[in-house]
Amino acid sequence: MLRASYIVLTILVFLSAAAFAASDCLPIGEARQHVGENKCITGKVTHVKAGSHGVHFIDFCEDQLSCPFSVIVFGSDLKDVGDVRRLAGRVIEIHGPVKMYNGRAEIILKRVSQLTGGAALIPPLPKEYDVEKQGHYSAGNIRPTKKPAKTYPTVSPSATYGNEADVEEH
């Protein structure tokens, strides 16, 4: 009986620790007050947009420009983070330094370990995913640069060539 109560007590301690850790995260609206601090921010992802050069923007509001917080993933970090497109519709918790950029608080996502909860289970990017083509798949082969097509001069019918100039017509 004593052993069973010890097991139940241990389980309760772990559950309360998990509940405390989840309450440690701030909602996206409070991120601005913690610029310069290393914080956990939580919110529901409305959509993930791919920008130029493989940059992905994880948005928490329908109108990105009026949203108080965003998460940025650079194309070079996607291999360490995974397929962030799968975060749309999920509630995520992201840990990292809160920074200001263009009047909005943001966290730069560089590693999947910055995500906790169900968001940490995002799959890796497909091997043939090409960040420069913003989601289009390629065979993964290095392609040589295209050479310009050869152009040939046009032949003029009135020009004389080779030995034709030496021949006299009778």
Question: Does residue 81 fall inside a structural domain?
Answer: yes
By C-alpha distance, which of 75, 71, 79 is closest to 111?
79
Question: Does residue 149 fall inside a structural domain?
Answer: no
Which CATH number covers residue 47? Answer: 2.40.50.140
Question: Does residue 145 fall inside a structural domain?
Answer: no
Question: Does residue 167 fall inside a structural domain?
Answer: no
Question: Does residue 147 fall inside a structural domain?
Answer: no
Q: What domain range is 60 assigned to?
A: 23-127
Say how many domains are in the chain: 1
Question: Does residue 4 fall inside a structural domain?
Answer: no
pLDDT in tens, 123-165: 776 666 665 555 444 444 555 567 777 777 776 666 565 555 5
Question: Does residue 29 fall inside a structural domain?
Answer: yes
pLDDT in tens, 63-88: 878 899 999 999 888 888 888 888 98
Q: What angle do CA 61, 63, 66 make, to 5 degrees?
A: 90
Q: What is the pTM of this model?
A: 0.60
Question: Does residue 165 fall inside a structural domain?
Answer: no
Q: What angle do CA 48, 52, 56 make, to 5 degrees?
A: 25
